[in-house]
Structure 1
Amino acid sequence: MTRVLVVEDDPQLVRALKINLQARKFDVEAAPDGGSALRLAAARKPDVIVLDLGLPDMDGIEVIKGVRSSSKVPILVLSARHTSEDKIRALDAGADDYVTKPFSMDELLARLRAATRRQAEPDGRADDVTVITTDGFSIDLPAKKVRRGDRTVRLTPTEWHLLEILVTHPGHLVSQQQLLLEVWGPTYSENTNYLRVYMAQLRRKLEADPSHPRYLITEPGMGYRFEP
């Protein structure tokens, strides 16, 4: 059973989360503040942490840093803070995902499932996987080939490089800056329009409905993720 530590000081929200998560066979424990969260994270070794940033005794960013000093447990931030700056601070501190309040329980559950899947893979990467198969297409990493049905999808070297980075971090947010640095180099670190153009091209080639992508997901202002 997946163990979830919910770090939240709103008793009504904690109760709602417990009811919904326990109904789906999660084992749930709650901490009302950052100090309790750090103690429970160290003692109970949860499989995933759901963390509010606005805690009574410390900022949630400090909790992330404290957990990250000794653990790689997935941390999913659940916060009313909506700005890109808050999201980037949390992700840079070591959070794996960020959901803003109010939120859909279905979305939260999907993010939790993705977080626990990533935890089962070393360092969040799929390095031991050579062929990635989805309902829409397959990717042969060693051969650098993509197929949709019975036909080969022709990608440019830049499209391939971008796709390869995303699919070897399944379910993981890859920041705009990381993609620009790895694909184009430091000179292009501010050229986010490059990413928009190339992601649009990849979606036209791989997605059944490019305007509503299923696999190549945009996190506005932050980056992109591949959802298998």
Structure 2
Amino acid sequence: MNKTLTTVLVAEDEESFIDAITLGLSKEGMTVAVARDGREALDLFASVNPDVILLDVMLPKLSGIDVCKTIRATSQVPIIMVTARSSELDTVVGLEVGADDYVAKPFRMRELTARIRAVLRRSPNAIDSIEIEDMIEIGEIVLDTARHELRVAQVPVALPLKEFELLELLMSNPNRVMTRDMIIDRVWGPYHTSDTKTLDVHIKRLRSKIEPDPSTPTYISTVRGLGYRFEYKQMNK
């Protein structure tokens, strides 16, 4: 049952990208399964049990956005969306439906492999040799980092990988201003482009899940011109 190689499901319909990605990832010691349309991507996801998915936004038969939504209903496998460099709307929508990261075409293989390894390092399934019982509890929010679980007012709340990592970083530094650059570097890694849009989308999604009223957040506050802060003082009231 143990897989010795990282399996990457590549959902892409442009043959030139398929060839380059397959060759590049194979050289990095990864196994590549290729789907050329959205429906095939879902079929392969069920059959090959990939460690990470590289998902193009524009796919025949079923879009990458719809594929991401379907997979996120049952799995937290890391998903990296692939989008055209000018398609900011596709990028935001992809993040909102649960993608962990995105990469814009044209991309360099070095950047792509770095992104893949970064999301794999942060995946709960990657930690198999270290048992860490670590619970972060502030007010009604309980974050179990060992089990990758969140409870808000005793109710379980499902979080995609990046949202979990973001919340863990903020809760581990209560009342401390975390700059945007610091958060991006810690959660997405040094190879991620300095795109604050990615962070803002994840903050919005996170607030919708932990805040009593997301329109007037009391847990995650915005520090204008700097970044974000997890408010501790209000949690004990």
TM-score of the superposed pair, with normalisation by structure 1: 0.61
Once the two structures are superposed, the pairs formed by residues 58-207 of structure 1 within 5 Å of their partners are 58-80=62-84, 82-120=86-124, 127-128=145-146, 157-159=175-177, 166=183, 170-171=187-188, 174=199, 175-177=202-204, 186=214, 194-195=222-223, 197-199=225-227
Q: 2:21 aligns with which of 11, 17, 22?
A: 17
- Structure-2 change in CA distance of 1:101 and 1:126 (3 Å): farther
Q: Is the 8 A contact 1:126 1:170 kept in 2?
A: no
Superimposed CA distance per residue, residues 169-194 of structure 1 (whole angstroms, 9 cap, x where no aligned partner): 843864243577879x84567xxxx5
- Structure-2 separation of matches of 1:29 and 1:55: 16
Superimposed CA distance per residue, residues 124-144 of structure 1 (whole angstroms, 9 cap, x where no aligned partner): x8824xxxxxxxxxx9x87x6
Q: What's the RMSD between the two structures over aligned residues?
A: 3.8
- Structure-1 separation of matches of 2:98 and 2:215: 26
- Structure-2 change in CA distance of 1:195 and 1:85 (3 Å): farther
- Structure-1 separation of matches of 2:85 and 2:110: 20
- Structure-1 separation of matches of 2:125 and 2:183: 15
What is the deviation of 1:92? 1.2
Q: Is the 8 A contact 1:47 1:116 kept in 2?
A: yes
User: Residue 162 of structure 2 corresponds to which residue in structure 1?
Assistant: none
What is the deviation of 1:62? 0.6
Q: Is the 8 A contact 2:83 2:91 kept in 1?
A: no
- Structure-2 separation of matches of 1:126 and 1:101: 36
What is the deviation of 1:198? 2.5
- Structure-2 separation of matches of 1:179 and 1:105: 31
TM-score of the superposed pair, with normalisation by structure 2: 0.59
Superimposed CA distance per residue, residues 103-136 of structure 1 (whole angstroms, 9 cap, x where no aligned partner): 12111111100111111369xx8824xxxxxxxx
Q: Structure 2, unaligned stretches of length 5 or more?
A: 127-142, 147-168, 190-197, 229-237
Describe the SS at the equivalent of 1:157.
coil
Q: How many residues align?
A: 171
Q: 2:59 aligns with which of 52, 55, 66?
A: 55
Q: 1:6 aligns with which of 7, 10, 15?
A: 10
Whether 1:46 and 2:73 are equivalent positions in the alignment is: no
Superimposed CA distance per residue, residues 200-223 of structure 1 (whole angstroms, 9 cap, x where no aligned partner): 9xxxxxxxxxxxxxxxxxxxxxxx
What is the deviation of 1:85? 2.4
What is the deviation of 1:102? 1.0
Q: Is the 8 A contact 1:2 1:27 kept in 2?
A: yes
- Structure-2 change in CA distance of 1:13 and 1:126 (3 Å): farther
What is the deviation of 1:70? 1.9
Query: What percent identity do the matched residue pairs reach?
Result: 35
Describe the SS at the equivalent of 2:54.
strand
Q: Structure 1, unaligned stretches of length 5 or more?
A: 129-138, 145-155, 201-228
